[in-house]
Every structure is written in C-alpha cells, then in structure tokens.
Structure 1
C-alpha cells in the first residue's frame, strides 16, 4: 500500500482538507459508494435516486464517498459530471477518497507517476486521451512525460480535487471514505486514516458511537455491520454501484 504522505521539504505541502458539520433534521441523505470511473453506473444510480426522492418531502443531499477516478474507463467524464451542478432538487457534497488524494499528489509533485499508476491510473490517463506507453516512446525523460500528463488535466478538475472535504459528520452519522479510528475524538482523526484505514477500523467497530457510512473496501454486497455501513460494492469490476438513503433515521439501499 502507498502511504499518502508528502516526500520532503522541497515538495509542495498537502493542505489540510475541510471537515464539515451537517444538520440532518428535515434532510434526506443519499450516500453513494466508490464510482471509480464508472460513469454509466453513476448516471443510472442518480436516475434511481431521483425517482426515489420524488415523493419524499424535505431537502435532498447527495454525499459522494470518494474514489471517483482510477481503474474504471471514464474517470475524466466522472469528474466532468461532478464539477457540474447536481441533479435538480439536490445538493451534493463530494468527499475525498485516497485515489483523489493520490491524483492530486501526483499533479502537485508529491508522488511520481509510477506510484499513481500502481493505484490504477492507466485508465484515468486514457480517459483524458493520454496513452502512457506512447508517451514513454515519444519522450525520453520523466519531466517531459509529467508535463504532458499535467497539461492534459483541466484546471477545473484540479481545483475540484483540491477543495474536496475529507469528512462530514452529524449528531448520529459520520460520512467518510475509508473509516475512522474508533476511540479517537473526531477533531483528532488523522487525515490519512480517513482515506486509507481498514483493519483498525474494522477490528474495533464495536467501539463506534455513531453510524459510520464509508466505502474504500470492496464487498460483494453493501450493507451494515453494527454501526459500520460499507457502500463500496466494487463498481469497476462488479458493475454495481450502491447508495444508501437515510431518512428519519431509517436506511434503504439503492443500486444502479
């Protein structure tokens, strides 16, 4: 696993990401798991969510749990969709996943291209019209390759990656990409844990005091275990993208 840390004083420091507070009274929340470049699944699930929400009163919010890029075929198009306005009648919050953090770390020089490619960036580059193998044949040095890749990423996509919050919390729910470290106060949660944690979160989930809705770790079927709700149904290999509707403290799962 690549630990997403800065690589030294000469590298641009990674700014701390926002952490949001959410009042869920009179609010219907649809939390969606990892998209990973699967635009068709995202659009289909958004249509299901819109149909589901038609008859429900109150404000509607989409909370995207991160990992919009890499592995699947249409990462650039997914980002195009997410930087555009949300579906009519909805607000939308997009959280950072470890793949967005890695993409920005590469674009800002904190990791090299090889490190990002190991995380599944090849299809992402192709979605921007970049054939990495051809670039290597055309350019004899790493700097030229990096410049070509970075020039191909739209500025609004880079700005989007920079502004993604890392966590949203309410009185009873926490929305985050990977999970939290149980027993640690929310204000002290390490940002790397929020986008990368697995075993310490899973193994100590009995210590959770709020429902934690997350993605990051693919499962055959999204669902709840105690106070932990995993919505990563592996869209890029299963074709299934999952959302959870939370309304009046009751959940309902929807898939594309």
Structure 2
C-alpha cells in the first residue's frame, strides 16, 4: 500500500536560457557611465563566455540621477546598432523623458523630482536656465537639447524580452496576466502587486526598478537594481544553461544604497 505522505512532488526544473547562449542582464545604470564601462569590461573578460553566443540586455533606466545620461544613451545606442544580440528595454525614466518632450504636465513634474535635472545638464542645458524654467520651459529644454535620434531610440525600446524560460522587464509584471496582455505601465512602473507575489509567473522574471543592497533573489524572480547612481555598484545577472550568477562593479568603501 502506498501512502500519500510518502509521495514527493516532482522537482521544478531550474529555468534555462537557450542552448549555446550566455546572457548578461544589466540593471539600472542611471547616468553612471563609469559603472557601465567597468561592468562591460568585466563582461568582456568573463571566462564563461567561451564560444557561447553573447546577449546583452539592458533592463532600462539608462538616464536620470547620475551625471552622464547622454553618454550612457549614446553608448547603448552604439552597442544596439552594432549587434542584434544587444537589447535595451524601456524603463519608467525613459518614459518620463519622452512624456516631458511631449509637454505632458504630470510627467514634467515627476521628471524634475526623479533626476531629470541631471539628465538635461548632461545634454548641455545651462544650470541657471534649468533652475529658472517653469514646466513648459523644461519641456522646451528637452526638445531643444535632446537629439531627435536619442528620443527616437528611446521611443522604439521594447518593454519585455523572452529568453528561454526567462522574461526580462524593467519593473515587473502583473500577477495573473498573460505576458502578451501586460500593460506597458505595469512593465515600467509596477512594485507591490509584483514584488509581493510569491506564486509562480508564466516565466521566471528578471527585473530592475526596485533598489536593493544585493540582488533580490526569489523563487519566482530576481531583481538586480543595486542603486548604481548612488552606490557605485552596477550589477549584471549572468545566465547560461541552467546556471545563474552575478557580476558587479566594486562598491566603494563606506558607500550606501539610496532607495528612490
């Protein structure tokens, strides 16, 4: 006689990326070109690359808060233009910049509080001119100083990328909603309904957006926004076969993580 208490549920296989690939998912850069260049050098030197096909995925929020947003955008644009194996997703900060360029009043107010000042200064806006501008004036500064090619690049960014058993997004996904039915606003902005969900998702989720001191590893998701704009630690999740590990820039001695 077989008793149910002795029966074991079959183990859930570890999520995998497509065979022959190695994926580097890069968290929120937020204008820290120095951290980005450091991390890209670490990726180039990674011994696990071997002869695997290398895929780079930027999880969004290239801009705001840090000092060199323009240079980060140009660096990522160059990488994307050079290879179809480089993808950049749209984050909520890219969305804010695009809405600011369109003159959306609510977005302009948030943009100013969320690091938009630093972004516009990186594009050559005079600090005094920024400080004197009202919301309408800030929108004009965006249109006058951010190249159309940059805005076009940001407008074309996708909101999610499926790689094997993984889905890459900026902020997260809404539980109970199929991937193809997810709203862009959730993929770019969601927090609590996603972060608090303990059940399985349609695919294993890799995301940024929510700052944690170390990568936030859960049974159904991994968050890799380690607050580079303040901490100096920019993190990449490395995936190949069913293996996952992390690469990161060094955290300066005494540095802390700022949540925001």
Bin the TM-score by the shorter chain.
0.7 to 0.9
Match of 2:178 among 171, 179, 185: 185
Out of 185, 188, 191, the residue aligned to residue 195 of structure 1 is: 188
Once the 2 structures are TM-superposed, how far is the Cα of residue 179 of structure 1 from its aligned partner? 0.5
Moved segments of 4+, more than 4 Å = 86-90, 141-145
Q: Residues of 2 paired with 1:226 and 1:152: CA distance?
A: 44
* Structure 2: stretches of 5+ with no match in the other structure: 1-16, 250-260
Of 94, 97, 110, 1:100 maps to: 94
Matched residue, 1:12: none
In 2, the alpha carbon distance for the partners of 1:151 and 1:58 equals 43
Identify which range, 28-37 or 103-112, moves more after superposition: 103-112
1:128 maps to which of 98, 123, 138: 123
TM-score normalised to structure 1 length: 0.83
State which of 41, 45, 48 in structure 2 corresponds to 1:51. Answer: 45
2:85 matched to 1:91? yes
Task: Please give the alpha-carbon distance, in whole angstroms, between the structure 2 residues aligned to 1:116 and 1:144.
Answer: 13
Aligned counterparts of 1:244 and 1:189: Cα–Cα separation in 2: 23
List aligned pairs for 1:144-163, cutoff 5 A: 144-163=137-156
Extract unaligned runs of 5+ from structure 1: 1-22
Identify the match of residue 27 of structure 1 among 21, 29, 34.
Answer: 21
Picking from 233, 248, 252, the partner of 1:255 is 248
235-244 vs 48-57, greater mean Cα deviation: 48-57
Structure of greater Rg: 2
